[in-house]
Homo-oligomer: A and B are copies of this chain.
Amino acid sequence: MTRIAVLGAGRIGKIHAHNAATLPGCSLAGVADPFGSAAADLAALYACRAEHDPAALIERDDVDAVVIGTPTDTHVELMLRAARAGKAVLCEKPIDLDIGRAREAAADLQRLDARVMLAFNRRFDPSVAALKAAIDAGEVGEVQQVIVTSRDPAPAPLSYLRTSGGIFRDMTIHDFDIARFLLGEEPVEIFAIASNLVDPAIGELGDADTVMVVMKTASGKQCHINCCRAASYGYDQRFEVLGNKGMLLNDNLRPTTLRRFTRTQTEAQDPLLNFFLERYEQAYRAELLAFATAVADGRPMPVTPQDGVQALRLADAALESSQTGHAVTV
C-alpha cells in the first residue's frame, strides 16, 4: 500500500486525492493547501489528515509519496524538500517556467537520487498508450510524421493566463511531451507561428491563443502541432502517426454513442467531452497507478524530470521562433 499525500487542493489536487483514496494499492495519507479551508474540505471527504503547510505533511512518517499539484512557482522547492525527506514525488507539469531553474532542479534531484515522476497525464490515456504500443510493435514501420491536434474548449481566465508562462509553456507543453513520446527521437529543429485570434485580451497580455509548430528530428522525422485556446465543439485531442507501413489515428471521446439522423443531417454525435478532467479521467487514474506501482516495486519512473526539462526547452524554442520568425535549433 503506497501512502500518498496530496499537496494542493485545487482542481487537479482533487483528482489525485480521489484516485489516491480509491485506487487499489494506494491510500490517501493527507492533503495540504495553505489557502482557506480547501485542504480541510477535501480531507473531510476522504477521512484523511489536512494541513495548511505542505512541508509538515511531507515530513510525516506515514507518507510514502507526495503528489504536487500546487502553483508552478512552488514545484521546485516542494520537489526538493520531498526528495530530501526520502519521499517519492509525482509533480504536475511544468517543473518551472524558467528553463534554468528547471534544469538545475533536475540536476539536484538526480544528485539526490530522488524518485520523481513528472505528471504528463496524456501518456497514460488508454488510447494514447495503445497508440504508443502499436508504434513500438512496429505496426506502422518507421515513423515519418506525427500530427498532434490540441484545442481547449475555451481560454482559461485572464488571471490565470497572466502568470501561465504563455501558451507554449502552459498548454503546448503537453503536446511537446506527446510529440517526443510518439516520435521516439528528440526534435532538433523547431519553427512556430503564433496568432491572437480568439480573444484580444489575450493579445494584450503579450500572449498568443492560436499556434502552429513544426519540428524535425536528426533523422528527418517530422512533427506538426496545432494548438488553440478555444474550440466551440469541445476539448479536441487527436494524434496521428504516419509510418512507412501504415497510419494510426486516435480520435476524441464522447459521453454516449448515440447517432442522430434527421432531414438535414446524419450520423450527428454528441459534442466532445468538455475538458481535460472528463477526457483524461482514465489517464489520471492510470498515471497514479503507474506512479504508485513504481514506488512500491522500486522500478524506474515512467516519466522523469528530464522529460519535463525537454518539453520546456521545446516550448521556449517555439516561443523564440514565433517571435523571431526563424527556426530554432534545439
Contact = CB atoms under 8 A, between A and B. Distances in A.
B242 A266 contact: no
B221 A193 contact: no
Contacts of A231: 242, 247
Interface residues of A, number: 73
A42 interface: no
A265 B230 CA distance: 16
A35 interface: no
Interface string A141-156: 0101101010100000
26 contacts: A134-B258, A142-B197, A144-B198, A145-B210, A191-B193, A191-B327, A193-B222, A195-B222, A197-B244, A212-B214, A228-B242, A230-B244, A232-B247, A232-B262, A233-B263, A246-B263, A248-B258, A248-B261, A249-B261, A250-B257, A250-B258, A254-B266, A261-B272, A265-B270, A326-B326, A327-B327
Given A197-B221, A230-B244, A248-B259, 5 more contacts: A131-B258, A212-B214, A232-B246, A232-B261, A246-B260
Contact of A224 (B144, B216, B224, B248): B224
A300 interface: no
Contact of A256 (B127, B220, B244): B127
Interface in A263-279: 263-272
A163 B90 CA distance: 52
Contact of A251 (B246, B257, B272): B257
A267 B271 CA distance: 9
Nearest to A223: B212
A253 interface: yes
A258 B212 contact: no
B224 A226 contact: yes
Interface string A190-228: 011101111000000000001111101000111110101
A269 B265 contact: yes
Contacts of A326: 325-327
A126 interface: yes
B230 A222 contact: no
B242 A127 contact: no
Q: Which 5 A-B pairs have the closest CB atoms?
A: A195-B220, A233-B261, A268-B268, A247-B261, A251-B257
A130 B127 CA distance: 24
Contact of A226 (B131, B139, B147, B228): B147
A301 to B, nearest CB: 24
Contacts of A248: 258-261
A74 interface: no
Given A134-B260, A144-B228, A266-B271, A222 B249 contact: no
Nearest to A247: B261
Contact of A262 (B191, B197, B221, B233): B233
Contacts of A142: 197
A299 interface: no
A271 B260 contact: no
B257 A252 contact: yes
